[in-house]
Structure 1
Amino acid sequence: MAASVLGSTCGPLRLGVTGLCRRRPPRGLWARARRLPGLAGSGRSVAAASGSGASGTDRYCMELLRKRDYEGYLCSLLLPADSRSSAFALRAFNVELAQVKDSVSEKTIGLMRMEFWRKTVDDIYSDNPPQQPVAIELWKVCTPAEAGPVPGPLTDFQSPSKDGKSQALPSLGLRRKSGWEAAVKRHNLTKRWLMKIIDEREKNLDDKPYRNIQELENYAENTQSSLLYLTLEILGVKDLHADHAASHIGKAQGIVTCLRATPYHGSRRRVFLPMEICMLHGVSQEDFLRQNQAKNVRDVIYDIASQAHLHLKHARSFHKSVPVKAFPAFLQTVALEDYLKKIQQVDFDIFHPSLQQKNTLLPLSLYVQSWRKRY
């Protein structure tokens, strides 16, 4: 079986918090972790996660992440308080770019949206941000008090209300910097990483499968790894080993995301898995569209998942050289390892229903991993 081979070829897939049974968390840890969104009751507001002072724009941004990037949402909650709002804005920016491909019916429209984001980034770094806030949460995150207002006209914009409907905020004659604009100034974010994310997302508007695993890794490096580089800058980390770990973790994230999205893409008659690996095992795109569970189909998934596992293993091989301050940026390894373990348990059946179920214990696992200062 493919599952039995993985242990001998790539080493065992270790999930979550290694050695948790050997070291007991401090008293009250479970009670504190329950306060994280996801373990709390469904009636709990998102604003409560960031404190009572959260504005409508903060709530909009966090709600978008909670719905579209739940794992990124949980990881952002566990960042230091002074970095949290900037991380929410950055991840919201990534979500907006990621949604373009599935939200447009024509490639031309997608290209126009990407050009809008590209021009917006240029304007921000030219100290000439858009004069009117757009109806996207990235520009709705409020400025910290020390950043101050930016002169210019302010057009009324929409903020989500408690009943789910939008409500207009009054014009004040001054336009405040968005949370992301403030993040750029406060953390001196590197423009190149933002542009790489836009450029790579734009290339991905073509509905073409990856030719090989290297092409998939290159896409992951320019999107997921770039996002991690920016997160490290938000945390104030400038370290070669941390960047090296971010590169491998980002590639693992991109590969796992491609695997997880395979059933969804198949329902839309699309397959993006590397063609070279599929051809190696004699698997066609039609096999995935028909949800074929033959051994050669599972072998394709095994090869791809093994590559993600190797990236995680390599990123952790030099964790002693990575500054502890960088560890919060890498909490997503918990979710990645969780998926890799589950797919191994179902013998690499990519269409198994259990792979589409949300892990209700993920908030607790992330909290414990954060407490243990590991990634």
Structure 2
Amino acid sequence: MADLSPIARIARQHDPDRFLCALFAPPAKRETQFLLIAFNHELARAREAASNPMAALIRLQWWRDTVEEARAGQPPRRHEVAGPLSEAITAGRLDPADLLGMVDAREVETEEEIPSRAALLAYLRGTAGGFAVAAGHALGAPADALPALQSLGAAYGLAGLLRSIPAQARRGRSLLPADLLGEHGLAPADAAHDPRQPGVAAVARQLAEEGEGLLRQGSIRLPRGTGAAALPAVLARRDLRRMASPGWNPGQPPPERGLGDRLAVMWAGWRG
């Protein structure tokens, strides 16, 4: 893929799952999907790249301003993602309301902990679910399909969160909800300190079952040409089935994506 655009290379490097799924978008709309992936990556790294929560909020505000300025017809900012993003908004290829919702949802990551299961699900519907809605909107999915896409996106986000438990712990964090951990006598700080504890595994399996419920909520037949927005759910289904099994240990690094994962996405993509 030597002929990939700079935006496509960013998407492939930082989010290979969604990049693979975007390859099944219609060719004329594929670059917009790559751009959305790159934008989402910038939002996701706001907290990771910042030295403190306030700095992360400033980064998110920068992206909020970028979207608002593009909507107002102002010149694009000089940035490898912000420039193309502004052009896509001006051309009507991306909906600024979708993008602003994705920015707003990321503010939860600047807080010390996620207090409850309900707060976690709201966060997932706004972040990964918001991405799926924006992707579907850009592909021309009908309005009545967007809630299902949001559920599918949230399921993929939840699977990703559970896969990242060891990585979160290395950064001294846990995004598992405090109320569910509390039922096992744990706080988020305990889960961050040692994610191999039985209570962490119990909460993670409970959330994996929640994810399977989100997949069921997202059951829908999409018009041809819009299915790429739902393809990450194929990976979510494979991950969540493994995570719901008694032998899964969330404290261990997850397995790398393999041929089976790629083939599952490719088969679903070819089927439309």
TM-score, with structure 1 as normaliser: 0.67
Cross-structure match for 1:74: 20
| 1:104 paired to 2:50 | yes
Give 3-state SS (helix, strand or coil) of 2:235's partner: helix
Counterpart-to-counterpart distance in 2, 1:288 and 1:119: 33
Q: How does 1:17-166 map to 2 (within 5 A)?
A: 46-48=1-3, 54=4, 58=5, 60-130=6-76, 133-134=78-79, 136-139=80-83
**Pairwise CA distance, 1:188:** 5.0
Cross-structure match for 1:184: 89
Q: Which has the higher helix share?
A: 2
Structure 2 unaligned segments of length 5 or more: list them. none
Cross-structure match for 2:123: 219
Cross-structure match for 2:256: 357
Counterpart-to-counterpart distance in 2, 1:234 and 1:282: 44
Counterpart-to-counterpart distance in 2, 1:198 and 1:275: 23
Cross-structure match for 1:239: 143
With over 3 angstroms needed to count, the CA separation of the structure-2 counterparts of 1:85 and 1:228, relative to structure 1, is same
Q: Which amino acid aligns with 2:2?
A: A
Q: Which amino acid aligns with 1:128?
A: Q
Q: Is the 8 A contact 2:174 2:191 kept in 1?
A: no
Cross-structure match for 1:344: 244
| 1:298 paired to 2:201 | yes
Q: Which amino acid aligns with 1:76?
A: A
Deviations 1:283-312 (A, max 9, x none): 344255223343x43221111110001100
Counterpart-to-counterpart distance in 2, 1:101 and 1:331: 27
Cross-structure match for 1:272: 175
With over 3 angstroms needed to count, the CA separation of the structure-2 counterparts of 1:358 and 1:204, relative to structure 1, is same
With over 3 angstroms needed to count, the CA separation of the structure-2 counterparts of 1:67 and 1:325, relative to structure 1, is closer
Largest Rg, 1 or 2: 1
Q: Is the 8 A contact 1:219 1:254 kept in 2?
A: no
Counterpart-to-counterpart distance in 1, 2:168 and 2:74: 39
With over 3 angstroms needed to count, the CA separation of the structure-2 counterparts of 1:112 and 1:293, relative to structure 1, is closer
With over 3 angstroms needed to count, the CA separation of the structure-2 counterparts of 1:324 and 1:249, relative to structure 1, is same
Counterpart-to-counterpart distance in 2, 1:274 and 1:111: 21
Which protein, 1 or 2, shows the higher relative CO under an 8 Å CA cutoff with sep ≥ 6? 1
Q: Is the 8 A contact 2:25 2:226 kept in 1?
A: no
Counterpart-to-counterpart distance in 1, 2:215 and 2:134: 19
Instruction: Indicate the RMSD between aligned Cα atoms, in angstroms.
Output: 2.1
Counterpart-to-counterpart distance in 2, 1:272 and 1:203: 10
Q: Is the 8 A contact 1:61 1:89 kept in 2?
A: yes
With over 3 angstroms needed to count, the CA separation of the structure-2 counterparts of 1:297 and 1:112, relative to structure 1, is closer
Give 3-state SS (helix, strand or coil) of 1:270's partner: coil
How many residues in Structure 1 have an aligned counterpart in Structure 2?
271
Q: Which amino acid aligns with 2:170?
A: S
Give 3-state SS (helix, strand or coil) of 2:10's partner: helix
Cross-structure match for 1:196: 101
Q: Is the 8 A contact 1:92 1:138 kept in 2?
A: no
Counterpart-to-counterpart distance in 2, 1:219 and 1:298: 21
Q: Which amino acid aligns with 2:101?
A: K
**Pairwise CA distance, 1:345:** 4.5
TM-score, with structure 2 as normaliser: 0.90
Q: Which amino acid aligns with 1:196?
A: G
Counterpart-to-counterpart distance in 2, 1:117 and 1:297: 34
Structure 1 unaligned segments of length 5 or more: list them. 1-45, 49-53, 140-177
**Pairwise CA distance, 1:275:** 1.2
